[in-house]
Amino acid sequence: MDVPLVCDYGSGFSKVGFAGMETPLAVFPTLLGKLRHDNPLVGMGEEDWFLGDEAQHKRGELSLQYPISRATVTNWANMEKIWHHSFYQVLRVAPEQHPLMVTEPPLNTMSNKEKMSQILFETFNVPALYLANLGVLSLYASGQTSGTAIESGEGMTYFVPIIDGCPLHQSTIQTDMAGQDLTSYLLQLLTDGGHSLVSTGDREHVRSIKEQYCYVALDFDKEKVKTDAPSYAQKVQLPDGQEVTLGQEKFFCPEVLFQADLMGRNDLGIHMKAFQSISSCSPALWKILFGHIVLSGGTGSCSGLRFRMQREISALVSPTINVKVTRTLQSSGPPLAMGTQMSGSSRPRSAPTWLGGCPLSESKVRGTHVGAGVDAGVRARHGASLQGCAPQRSRGFSRLFVTLVCLSVFSNFSAKHPCLPHGL
């Protein structure tokens, strides 16, 4: 068997690559589109389906479909197309020759696990499959095996207490306040301010504005007073030439993470959710769970969020408990291939999956050593994009820990009886 594949399919973006890399080889939208019936190209021999970046570029001509909504697969036929695209067009590998690690949301259902495993084993013939808890990988990326992972992406935010690499499922909670909701709220704020932003392309522009300019205020009320002046406003030009004026929208937008009622929702803020999740665990675990809180995901990397979370959670707990909030390490690997650079407003800003899943590259799979980095065949196909992709040692881990993780991932796999662990 060849070097393992590591794939993270999210509501907004998919990140795919090889074990041993600190960054994914490619990042593309988890999106596909079919030519509309009124399109003159329909029936003229052109392929009807477009996936990933191509669907994004042709979005004005297509009926768009998102196979994952709120971190849950809603259309398995379309999800199969995304998998096919990632294996054959993006990674350019034969999936039957590579063990596969796929991330899964912390509260993934058994029926979803079974359906995913069935398709990957029976349709793509993967030789080995491991479903990795996204929260655990995020914590591993910070060099910890115990703590609380707050994974906030495009569709969902999860709060996952973890002890010795094992997520505490009964204390894991989720909220659907996440990246797409912040984009919707910023769109509403700009529209209320007199801007005409109605097309799907406009929404993508607003998403980019959110990622480039928005920040979390340390003190919301003080920030409102401090910025209540015309000089604070900032003009931003969209790709279509339209000019948008940004004022207090820059910090009002992410404030809904803490005050959901700003956009008409009756829900707790994420600081309260984190407190609720950890407090439901045994008090004997509070010291380590409050002491190692790790923010991850695109929304989790919002400027100022770490400091605000530190302040809010510290105010909720006893002074005898030390609260420490950090973010996952930012990836520092080689550039991505095929024009899908992670830098830029439209791409995820961190890749904890590859930092947390790095130990896989040092494992042995059925007697085949896969720790020698990316093999010659893969290098030949992807060339310079893999420069510097020698095997990476996971930061902050002992060799014993790496060995245990890798053995747990790839031992005793069977193509006929998929392994569906509740752990990592």
Query: What is the average pLDDT score of the chain?
Result: 80
Helix, strand and coil percent figures for the chain, each rounded to 5: 40, 20, 40
Angle at 54 between CA 29 and CA 77, to 5 degrees: 65
- Location of each CATH 3.30.420.40 domain in the chain: 5-30+66-143+333-410, 147-177+268-327
For the question of whether the overall pTM of this predicted structure is more than 0.75, the answer is yes
Nearest by Cα to 338 from 103, 110, 24: 24
- Min mean pLDDT across 282-286, 371-375, 412-416 is at 412-416
Query: How far apart are the C-alpha atoms of 408 and 419, rounded to whole Å?
Result: 11
Q: What percent of the chain has pLDDT over 70?
A: 74
Query: Which is higher by pLDDT, 344 or 295?
Result: 295
The answer to whether residue 297 scores a pLDDT higher than 60 is yes
pLDDT at 402: 34
Q: Which CATH class is domain 179-261?
A: alpha beta
In CATH, the number for domain 147-177+268-327 is 3.30.420.40
CB atoms within 10 A of CB 360: 28
Instruction: Write the pLDDT tens digit of every residue in 164-173.
Output: 999 999 999 9
Residue pair 159/277 in contact (Cβ under 8 Å)? The answer is yes
pLDDT-based confidence at residue 357 (cuts at 50, 70, 90) = low
Count Cβ atoms below 10 Å from residue 372 Cβ, excluding itself.
13
pLDDT above 80: residue 410: no
129: enclosing H helix or E strand: strand 129-133
Which residue, among 341, 336, 320, 338, has the nearest Cα to 389 in the 3D structure?
336
Read off the pLDDT band of 23 (50, 70, 90). confident
Tokens 């809180």 belong to which residue?
293
pLDDT reported for residue 40: 54
Q: What is the mean pLDDT of residues 312-335?
A: 80
Q: Which amino acid is at 411?
A: S
Q: Provide the pLDDT confidence category of residue 321 given band limits of 50, 70 and 90.
A: very high
5-30+66-143+333-410 architecture in CATH? 2-Layer Sandwich (3.30)
**Taken in order 241, 227, 297, 422, is the CA torsion positive or negative?**
negative
Cite the beta strand spans of 304-343 per DSSP E: 325-327
- Per-residue pLDDT band for 355 (boundaries 50, 70, 90) equals low
pLDDT, tens digit, 9 for 90 and up, residues 217-266: 999 999 999 888 888 889 998 877 888 999 999 999 999 999 999 999 99
Alpha helices in 265-304 (DSSP H): 270-279, 286-291
CB 11 within 8 A of CB 323: no
Angle at alpha carbon of residue 269, lines to 267 and 303, rounded to 5° = 140
Q: Where in the chain is the domain with CATH 3.90.640.10?
A: 179-261
What end-to-end distance do the CA atoms of the chain give, in Å?
A: 22
